C-alpha cells in the first residue's frame, strides 16, 4: 500500500480510543553476550522494518545513539528516491541508518529493540497498513561480526519460539549502500506527532520503547537536525 492510502486509513481512525491504537510489542530475551567494545569510536547499523518514520523515532529516543537517519538500502543510487521506492519496483527497502556508541549500547541491544518494539519480524513484505517489498524486514550487516550477531540472535529467537510465526527478516545483503531520504522525511515523527499515521502507527512504538527498555530511554530525541549541528 502506498503511504498516501495508508494516511487515509489512519485518518479514518484518528478519533478512535487510544486503547484501540495499541501497537503490539513483545518482551524478548537479550542476545548472547558480545565481545567488549573496542575504543574504535562509533559504529553504524542499517535496519529496515516498514515505514522509516517510526523506526527512526525509536532509535532517536535510545541512549547511546548519536544519529538515526531515514533512507533507502538494498538498491542502486539512481532509484534512491521516495517516488521510485514507493512504487515497489526498486530493490530498496525503507531503512534507517543508526549511528551508535558501542561503549553505551551494543549492536545486540540495537537488534533486541528492533525485534521487540520497532516492527513485527514475522510480516513478509509489509508492516501494519503498508505493503510491498520496500517495507520488508531486513538487516543490512555492516561487518561480518554484525552478520554473525544478527544470524545468531534470529536463531536464538526462533529456537525460543517467542513469536507465533517464523521470523522472515533477511540478513544476506552485506554492507549495502545507504542513501539518505529526502529532507522532509527526516525527524518526521518528532515534527508531526499529531499526524494520524504517526499517532496511530508510530507513537505507540516509541511508548513501548520507554516501557520495555527504561534504562535505554532518552526523553529528548536526538534528531538529524541536531546531529548536523554537532558536526
What are the sequence ranges of the domains in the chain? 41-223
For residue 165, what is its C-alpha cell? 510465526
Quote the pLDDT of residue 224.
96
Quote the pLDDT of residue 156.
97
Which regions in the chain score pLDDT beneath 50?
A: 1-2, 4-22
Verify whether residue 51 is a known catalytic residue.
Answer: yes
Residue 198, Cβ density class (10 Å: 0-12 exposed, 13-18 middle, ≥19 buried): buried
**Phi-psi category of residue 70: left, alpha or beta, with phi > 0 → left and psi -120 to 50 → alpha:** beta
For residue 96, what is its C-alpha cell? 534507517
Quote the pLDDT of residue 158.
96
- Tens-digit pLDDT profile for residues 165-207: 999 999 988 888 999 999 999 999 999 999 999 999 999 999 9
Which one of 28, 46, 51, 116 is the catalytic residue?
Answer: 51
Quote the pLDDT of residue 15.
36
CATH class, domain 41-223, is alpha beta
Rounded CA gap, 198 and 128, in Å?
12
Amino acid at each position: 500500500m502506498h503511504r498516501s492510502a495508508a494516511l487515509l486509513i489512519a485518518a479514518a481512525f484518528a478519533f478512535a480510543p487510544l486503547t484501540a491504537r495499541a501497537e503490539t510489542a513483545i518482551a524478548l530475551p537479550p542476545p548472547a553476550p558480545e565481545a567488549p567494545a573496542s575504543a574504535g569510536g562509533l559504529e553504524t547499523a542499517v535496519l529496515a522494518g516498514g515505514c522509516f518514520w517510526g523506526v527512526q523515532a525509536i532509535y532517536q529516543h535510545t541512549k547511546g545513539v548519536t544519529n538515526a537517519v531515514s533512507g533507502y538500502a538494498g538498491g542502486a543510487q539512481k532509484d534512491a528516491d521516495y517516488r521510485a521506492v514507493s512504487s515497489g519496483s526498486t530493490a530498496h527497502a525503507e531503512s534507517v541508518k543508526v549511528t551508535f556508541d558501542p561503549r553505551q549500547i551494543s549492536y545486540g541491544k540495537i537488534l533486541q529493540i528492533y525485534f521487540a518494539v520497532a516492527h513485527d519480524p514475522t510480516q513478509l513484505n509489509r508492516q501494519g497498513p503498508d505493503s510491498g517489498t520496500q517495507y520488508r524486514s531486513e538487516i543490512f550487516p555492516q561487518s561480518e561480526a554484525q552478520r554473525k550477531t544478527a544470524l545468531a540472535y534470529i536463531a536464538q529467537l526462533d529456537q525460543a519460539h517467542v513469536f507465533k510465526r517464523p521470523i522472515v527478516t533477511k540478513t544476506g545483503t552485506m554492507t549495502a549502500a545507504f542513501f539518505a531520504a529526502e529532507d522532509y522525511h527526516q525527524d518526521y515523527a518528532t515534527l508531526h506527532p499529531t499526524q494520524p499515521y504517526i499517532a496511530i502507527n508510530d507513537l505507540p512504538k516509541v511508548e513501548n520503547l520507554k516501557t520495555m527498555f527504561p534504562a535505554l530511554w532518552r526523553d529528548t530525541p536526538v534528531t538529524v537536525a541536531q546531529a548536523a549541528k554537532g558536526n
